[in-house]
Structure 1
Amino acid sequence: MTNIINFLSDEIMVLLIAAMPVVELRGAIPFGVSLGMHPLHAMVLGILGSMLPVPFLLLFLKPVFREMRKHRLFKKFVEWVTHRTMKKAKNIKKYSALGLLIFVAVPLPTTGVWTGSIAAALLDIRFRTAFLAIFAGNSIAALIMMALSHAAFGF
């Protein structure tokens, strides 16, 4: 019974790490592999975990930001996030879904699903288009991270 609990808790940890901003699957996959998971298993968990916040960001970010801008305390934060994201989103703005896919596919910090989702919401990219582009880009990034983890940990 303890083995099942430990196994499930490792999986949940990988899912939660993948759902975190900045870290996302770029940290979750190597973490899962370092726990002894097969790279493919860690990759699937990383994709699932990192995609968890995407629908919420795409659907609710703009209304939440609109409300936050009304309060002096949050206005600067919203402006900072918006400015930082839009500065990174030049190619997303130029190439729309393809730019979004490529942006998310590059496995570097601040180019993942969180920033991609925020950019897609701010640029008014349709939900379905944005979700599919982010999923495809995230899957490419996951394959890259799985290959790197596989090489590093020697599975």
Structure 2
Amino acid sequence: MLILNEFKVLLTAALPIVEVKGAIPVGIALGMSPIHATILAFLGSILPVPIILFTIRPIFNYLKETVTFKKIIHKLIHRSLNKSGNVKKYGYWGLFIFVAIPLPGTGVWTGSLIASLLDLRFKYAFPTIVIGNLVASIFIMTLSFGAVSIFGG
């Protein structure tokens, strides 16, 4: 049963929007220690990063040519680039901050998409996203552990 719960946390963390912000509380709710849940969520959330960094532009370029997905892809690109101001301004530091601050619409998925759309080099973007995600994971773990302690979960 523990292995199944670990996969639940890993897979939850790999989902867009949810990422570590949702996976760590899920792990704690499943009875894991905050550190165990955080490690699993962190690992799960970075799984999609290389895939996004290497493949999203060719996929988007292909989908932009289709009638079905053209509007959706343009909207996704526009929305992501609208959030990329600090990344454009501060480069990798901006990317780090964007991923590290666990707010809605930020995180590894959007950060990876922005890095790809801005042509940031993988060898710098990937570790920047990983370190930013580590900071976000620790922050969410601290908040989640505090909430569990306060409410006696």
- Give TM class, smaller chain: over 0.9
Identity of aligned residues (%): 49
Shift in Å, 1:108? 1.1
Aligned equivalents of 1:148 and 1:138: distance in 2? 15
Aligned equivalents of 2:123 and 2:23: distance in 1? 26
Aligned equivalents of 2:119 and 2:75: distance in 1? 19
Matched, 1:68 2:63: yes
The correspondence for 2:129, drawn from 121, 134, 140, is 134
Letter in 2 for 1:38: S
Aligned equivalents of 2:44 and 2:87: distance in 1? 23
How many residue pairs match? The answer is: 150
- Indicate the residue corresponding to 1:3 in structure 2: none
The correspondence for 1:143, drawn from 129, 138, 143, is 138
SS at 2:69 equivalent: helix
The correspondence for 1:111, drawn from 84, 106, 122, is 106
What stretches of structure 1 move > 3 A for 4+ residues in a row?
none
Q: For 1:1-155, what aligned pairs fall within 5 Å after superposition? A: 6-154=1-149
Aligned equivalents of 2:25 and 2:103: distance in 1? 14
Shift in Å, 1:152? 0.9
Query: Cα deviation per residue 1:126-154 (whole Å; 9 max; x = unaligned)?
Result: 01111011001000000000101111112
Flag the structure with higher helix content: 1
Aligned equivalents of 1:33 and 1:128: distance in 2? 33
Aligned equivalents of 2:123 and 2:72: distance in 1? 28
SS at 1:109 equivalent: coil
Shift in Å, 1:52? 0.7
Contact 1:23 1:109 in 2 (8 A): no
